[in-house]
């Protein structure tokens, strides 16, 4: 009422004034009010145009999305060794303590696309192209690459990232996780090496169980 009473005397307006009310027939609703003056033939403000937009469902959706996002982040953090986020363009702008603890990179070194420097030199170009394609297509992606550990050794990582979208469908950020799969990769390499030896040998080769 106070905002409406001063519109005509001051030829003013207001935008997005939020009002919540409990209606007898439709329950509790939240609305945004916008008001403008309407002029008469003498170009003097004589009436008020009041627009009322019901935003109850929009606010409810945003609250659910925020809760879901929080739960999703918690799930990732519980299942991954490294958790990281980027902006919509795929550049690092926020700190990731788990990444820093693993690689030894500082936040300044990781910013933008500096995180690629922590990858094995033979994997950087491939992962850079993979990440650029993922950001352009805005779809969940996963790959494997070698990441430099703080001790100096390279560890195989399984990396997965998903886009987090706003209510209008635009990407708000990317959330990713890395899991150390070095043990699995080492086992695969040993099996492949043993298979190559068997296949290339002219000798008779047999296998026995633990009892001989």
Block residue for tokens 């145009």: 49
Query: Which residues are CB-neighbours of 147 under 8 A, at least 6 positions away?
Result: 102, 103, 118, 119, 120, 154, 155, 156, 157, 178
pLDDT tens-place string over residues 150-199? 999 999 999 988 888 877 778 888 988 898 888 887 777 777 777 777 77
User: Whose CA is closest to 178, among 62, 100, 107, 114?
Assistant: 100
pLDDT of residue 19: 93
pLDDT tens-place string over residues 69-109? 666 666 566 656 888 999 999 999 988 888 999 999 999 99
Rounded to a whole number of angstroms, the distance between the first and last alpha carbons of the chain is: 93
Backbone angle region of 155, left / alpha / beta, with phi > 0 → left and psi within -120 to 50 → alpha: beta
pLDDT above 90 covers what percent of the chain?
Answer: 42
In the sheet with 45-54, reading across from the earlier edge strand, the strands are 14-23, 27-39, 45-54
> Pick the residue with more confidence: 212 or 205?
212
pLDDT of residue 207: 80
Neighbours of 65 (CB within 10 A): 15
pLDDT of residue 61: 58
pLDDT of residue 71: 62
pLDDT of residue 148: 94
Residue 46 confidence (pLDDT) above 70:
yes
Question: Which residues sit opposite 144 in a β-bridge?
Answer: 158
Average pLDDT, the chain: 86
pLDDT of residue 124: 95
């Amino acid at each position: 009422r106070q905002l409406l009473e001063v519109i005509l005397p001051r030829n003013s307006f207001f935008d997005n004034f939020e009002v919540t009310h409990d209606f007898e027939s439709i329950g509790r609703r939240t609305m945004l009010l916008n008001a403008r003056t309407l002029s008469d033939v003498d170009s003097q403000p004589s009436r008020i145009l009041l627009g009322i937009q019901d935003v109850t469902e929009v606010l409810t959706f945003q609250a659910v999305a925020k809760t879901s996002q929080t739960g999703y982040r918690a799930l990732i953090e519980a299942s991954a060794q490294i958790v990281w986020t980027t902006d919509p363009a795929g550049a690092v702008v926020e700190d990731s303590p788990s990444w820093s603890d693993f690689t030894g990179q500082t936040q300044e070194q990781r910013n933008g696309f500096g995180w690629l420097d922590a990858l094995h030199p033979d994997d950087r170009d491939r992962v850079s192209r993979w990440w650029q394609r993922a950001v352009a297509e805005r779809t969940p992606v996963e790959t494997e690459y070698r990441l430099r550990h703080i001790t100096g050794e390279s560890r195989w990582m399984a990396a997965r990232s998903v886009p987090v979208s706003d209510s209008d469908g635009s990407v708000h950020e990317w959330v990713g996780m890395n899991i150390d799969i070095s043990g699995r990769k080492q086992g695969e390499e040993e099996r492949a090496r043993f298979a190559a030896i068997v296949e290339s040998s002219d000798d008779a080769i047999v296998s026995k169980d633990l009892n001989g």
